[in-house]
Structure 1
Amino acid sequence: MSPKKLNCMVIVFAIYLLSQHVHSELEVGYYSDSCGMAEFIVKDEVRKAYNRDPGLAAGLVRMHFHDCFIRGCDGSVLLDSTPSNKAEKDSPANNPSLRGFDVIDSAKARLEAECKGVVSCADIVAFAARDSIELVGGVGYDVPAGRRDGRISLISDTRTDLPPPTFNVNQLTQLFAKKGLTKEEMVTLSGAHTIGRSHCVAFNSRLYNFSTTSLQDPSLDPSYALFLKRRCPQGNTNQNIVVPMDPLSPGVADVGYFNGILANRGLFISDQTLLTDTETASQVYQYSRDRYTWASKFADAMVKMGQIGVLTGNDGEIRENCRVINS
């Protein structure tokens, strides 16, 4: 073999080893030796919270998404604001829409009593999202773990890294691509809107102030618009009024979300916009007819999303309290 070919093989092998290292930073069963009850404890706390309030399942899935899209999946969304810093959780994009922080606190307290300083808050969020999906009828999946917790949480990051409900399909595609997710994975993960609820402020503009030529979004089914107007009267400032993302089955991980889009009943502009692109529209139609395909791909996409920008090894820390950095 010539030296040139040998050098090429060495380079290729080195790249392969590097790629294997990148993908093995997190691993399934990471706590099997150091804290064998870790995943059971998180699941138990999620189940108890779900039994009290089934709506928390959607909140915990949303929390994982909002954590991973800001600085990676590092638990930064859990940090409280301080006198000198406004944190992510106090952004209008997160407050009051994010729920379930007390569930994470409860799980963390039990884990600290069981195996102090071992399980990261970021991993608890990832486990809790998976457990929530299972509780609402989604496909379960193994969660690679080993994340460490970040020490920075800035409200300003939420203005650029979280997709607002007004984004169109091109803006969504570009933002997800920045996070290493494909257009297909973007549509797949959007299916999380099959569960949960939204406050009126997120979609009111579609009802009363859409454009200079149309007060109401013409792409919105008229009967659905009337239903939304009854729930969210113009000028009402009551922050407690919420609307289910999928009115027919808001507590079940099914494909009602995709059927709603096909009926022009996507709640957000960022939902209905999926019909404006040939590729995403085709995917919406496919998922609307095949719940298992969506649920299976959703599980895969959640695993991939859960590895965005993770801190491992000596980076970050294992927080004692998920709301504050270690002193």
Structure 2
Amino acid sequence: MTPKIISHLTLSCCLFLFWFPCVHSQMYPFPYRQLLDYNFYDRSCPRLLMIVRYNVWAALKNDTRMAASLLRMHFHDCIVDGCEGSVLLDDTKDFKGEKNAPPNRNSLRGFEVIDNIKTDLEIFCPSTVSCADILTLAAREAVSLSGGPFWNVPLGRRDGITASQKSAIEQIPSPIEPLQNITAKFTSKGLDIKDVVVLSGGHTLGFAQCFTFKRRLFNFEGSGNPDPALDSSVLTKLQSICPNQDAANSNLAPLDSSAVRFDNVYYTNLVNNAGLLESDQALVKDPNTATMVNLYSGNPFLFSQDFAASMMKLGNVGVLTGLNGQIRKRCGSVNY
């Protein structure tokens, strides 16, 4: 074989080896799994980021609470069996999933925003972008558009085809749960105590229904009295929003005093015994978490930086890739 022929063969082999894994990263993963990729949809759906950002912007313009709702939905998806879009699935006569589990029923909001994004994407790049990726990106945009940090999101998640009410009940942290239990739920997902403190800071956005914290106002731990740790002026204000009546259970109170803006006021409130939820205020009672609370209360830049890092970790929990799961055509139902 002549040197010229060998040279051509070598070049062809190198080009083939260079091209082959790029195709397989999206189409034919081997061995049926690949890592998430920041450029996953660059060719298959180049308008993705623009479509997600516009829809989230429009939703926030119409309803400033939507930023917190999208962020919370993403967390409730990922903390239950991983970030695979299962929280978006509607119940059917044969299927009871996470959406209507007690921690989510009449509480999670923003499903229509995800559906609108999916509808637009199905026009420009049908059967290409997973609902799990849409939800992950929407949460990032919601935070960023509210004045919070922007972080790069690796993509390539696929959608789960099952969901479990039981898993949602067991795995979603409760606002009245001991910090030790909440931390255990985080660590079971590969997160750590720092992520507990940082991701709890997502409560810088949004509101809580009265039933989630009302016992602090009237009958803390069965004492018949308010929580003695709660600042007295905050107590009076909350009791006016949430009178001790069942009819007031769905009334809303801000999670912090700047509930539609991403900032570090949440931590300042905790230091001043003005946290709304028991699970939030508990962070200053434990010396391991109190140190971080005090740090973030005085350093908004560090909080934003660490929040972005923890959100990246959260978005990688239990993802499906490769040939696992599917790309749903509708986020509320599996493909049959």
Q: Cα offset for 1:167? A: 1.7
Partner of 1:32: 42
Query: How far apart are 1:24 and its partner, in Å?
Result: 6.1
Aligned to 1:118: 128
Segments ≥4 residues shifted beyond 3 Å: none
Instruction: Report if the CA contact (8 A) 2:267-2:293 is conserved.
Output: yes
**Which region of structure 1 is more displaced relative to structure 2, 236-245 or 84-93?**
236-245
User: Counterpart amino acid of 1:252?
Assistant: R
Correspondence 1:63 to 2:73? yes
Q: Deviations over 1:215-266 (max 9, x none)?
A: 21111112111111100111232455111101x2111110110001011111
Q: Is the 8 A contact 2:210 2:250 kept in 1?
A: no
Structure 1 unaligned blocks of 5 or more: 1-20
Which of 164, 167, 175 is the equivalent residue of 1:165? 175
Distance 2:249 2:216 in 1: 18
Is 1:302 aligned to 2:327, yes or no? no
Q: Provide the identity percentage.
A: 41
Deviates more, 1:250-259 or 1:216-225: 216-225
Which amino acid letter does the alignment assign opposite residue 111 of structure 1?
L
Deviations 1:256-288 (A, max 9, x none): 100010111111110000011112000000000
User: Alpha-carbon deviation of 1:153?
Assistant: 1.5
User: Is 1:320 aligned with 2:329?
Assistant: yes
Task: Give CA-to-partner distance per residue, 1:285-317, whole Å, 9 cap, x none.
Answer: 000000010001100100110000000000000
Q: TM-score, normalised by structure 2?
A: 0.88
Match of 1:311 among 309, 317, 320: 320
Aligned pairs for 1:1-327 within 5 A: 25-238=35-248, 240-246=250-256, 248-327=257-336
Change (3 A) 1:239 1:113: farther
C-alpha contact 2:133 2:155 (8 A) present in aligned 1: yes
CA–CA separation in structure 2 for the residues paired with 1:304 and 1:112: 28
Q: Per the alignment, in what secondary structure is the counterpart of residue 329 of structure 2?
A: coil
Structure 2 residue matching 1:243: 3-state secondary structure: strand
Q: Find the structure with the greater CA-based Rg.
A: 2
Aligned-partner residue type, residue 142 of structure 2: S
Contact 2:34 2:322 in 1 (8 A): no
Q: Work out the CA distance in 1 between the residues paired with 2:296 and 2:75.
A: 21
Q: TM-score when scaled to structure 1?
A: 0.91
Q: Post-superposition shift, 1:173? A: 1.5
Hey, what's the Cα distance between the residues in 1 that align with 2:318 and 2:247? 37
Whole-angstrom CA distance in 2 between matches of 1:202 and 1:284? 22
- For residues 58-104 of structure 1, give each alpha carbon's deviation from its aligned partner in whole angstroms, at most 9, with x where no partner exists: 00000110000111000000000111222211122112221110000
Q: Which stretch has the larger CA shift, 176-185 or 235-244?
A: 235-244
Which stretches in structure 2 are left out of the alignment for 5+ residues?
1-30
Partners of 1:255 and 1:225 in 2: how far apart? Answer: 21
Give secondary structure in 1 for the equivalent of 2:116.
Answer: helix
User: Which one is further off, 263-272 or 232-241?
Assistant: 232-241
2:275–2:281: 8 Å Cα contact kept in structure 1? Answer: yes
Q: Tell me the residue number matched to 1:17.
A: none
Q: Which moved more, 1:81-90 or 1:252-261?
A: 81-90
Distance in structure 1 (CA, Å) of the matches to 2:218 and 2:92: 37
CA–CA distance in structure 2, aligned partners of residues 96 and 191 of structure 1:
23
Distance in 2, Cα, partners of 1:176 & 1:311: 19
Tell me how far apart the structure 1 counterparts of residues 186 and 327 of structure 2 sit (CA, whole Å).
28
Is 1:58–1:132's contact at 8 Å kept on the other side of the alignment?
yes
Contact 1:57/1:133, CA 8 A, preserved across alignment: yes
Decide whether the 8 Å contact of 1:97 with 1:198 is kept in 2: no
